Amino acid sequence: MSNQKIPPVLYIVIPCYNEEKVLPITVDLFLNQLNLLIDKKKIDNSSRIMFVNDGSKDNTWSIIKELSSRNPPILGITLSRNRGHQNALLAGLMEAKSRADITISIDCDGQDDITVMENMVDEYHKGNEIVYGVRNNRDTDTFFKKFTAESFYKLLSVMGCEVVFNHADYRLISSKVLNELSNFKEVNLFLRGLIPLLGFKSTKVFYKRNERMAGDSHYPLKKMLSFSIDGITSLSVKPIMYISMSGLVISLIGIIGILYALISFAFGTTISGWTSMLCLICFLGGFQILSIGVIGTYIGKIYLESKHRPRFIVSERTFEK
């Protein structure tokens, strides 16, 4: 597909949750970029922008419907309830895969450099099926934000998750890749780790991330921690392996402790040792509870997967299915 002479049809997929403040500001930026690529004949004039409303509680869906009625290139779908960023993004990609040759996913807050889309399309024309948008630095982040974000990617790497460092969900994907992605049926989605697992020829384009144009961030620390746990437990079983290894080490230490106690008893040098005993009990108790919690997380995910529930339900569209 990438060597065809006809310009590809591009769908820009934009998940939205409570974005009534920023959406009216950034929509013109997306439209201008789409028209620019069409004018340069890098994409077909049937290319579209698809907004995905993730069960917003504000007027986001009303704004999307109004924008769609006034601008033919704008399409919109809304989910029946809030399903989270990853599921909303997947819903848009699955809607677009049969209509587009390529998709570009991006958030609607204006932080990602929209002009980089042209570089992504150029890389697709060179034969790349996946193009990752990667931040070239984090100079605009606070120290805490920068530290936690970089620690997140490093932790994922240590846990065996194949991720692109400093890449979020700003990427180009061809329809060929999307068709293969549709074969992955897991409920616990982590697209940043799932897309690299697909293989295919890929590359990166780098850009500087800007401040959010309006509204508030939807990723506070609590949500970022939850996202990290989801990413690790969805793609790796190493935490369970580490628990097993730690259990073995602690067991060996316990055996040594028992031998020491028996030898001390044999030589009549036993002492009360209530402090060390208390510390040991607290340590082992805490370790056991933590281990049960990690294993329980995996069991919970298995439980959700076994139900085969739909990952999202599209309740309304601004276009014919």
What was the pLDDT predicted at 2?
A: 47
What was the pLDDT predicted at 315?
A: 87
Please give the Cα distance from 274 to 276 (Å, whole number).
6
> How many domains would you assign to the chain?
1
Among 36-50, 53-67, 233-247, which stretch is predicted with the lowest mean pLDDT?
Answer: 233-247
Say if 260 falls within a structural domain. no
Q: What average pLDDT does the segment 45-70 reach?
A: 94
Say if 280 falls within a structural domain. no
Q: Do 117 and 26 contact (CB within 8 A), yes or no?
A: no
Say if 283 falls within a structural domain. no
pLDDT tens column, 92-129: 999 999 899 999 999 988 888 999 999 999 999 999 99
Q: Which two tokens stand for residue 268?
A: 């009549």
pLDDT tens column, 124-154: 999 999 999 988 876 666 666 667 666 767 7
What was the pLDDT predicted at 68?
A: 93
Say if 50 falls within a structural domain. yes
Q: Extract long-range pairs of 46-49: CB within 8 Å, 24+ residues apart.
A: 46/9, 47/9, 47/10, 47/11, 47/12, 47/73, 47/100, 48/10, 48/11, 48/12, 48/73, 48/74, 48/75, 48/99, 48/100, 49/11, 49/12, 49/14, 49/73, 49/74, 49/75
Global pTM value: 0.73
Note down the domain range covering 32. 10-235+309-317
Residue 19: strand, helix, or coil: coil
Please give the Cα distance from 321 to 311 (Å, whole number).
19
Say if 63 falls within a structural domain. yes
Cα torsion angle, 24, 25, 29, 32, sign: positive
Residue 131: strand, helix, or coil: strand
Q: Residue 213 maps to which CATH number?
A: 3.90.550.10
Say if 276 falls within a structural domain. no
Please indicate whether residue 7 or residue 257 has the higher confidence score (pLDDT). 7
Q: Which helix (H) or strand (E) holds 49?
A: strand 48-53
The sheet carrying 102-105 orders its strands as: 202-207, 130-135, 167-174, 102-105, 10-16, 48-53, 74-79, 314-317
Say if 147 falls within a structural domain. yes
The 10 Å Cβ neighbour count of residue 183 is: 7
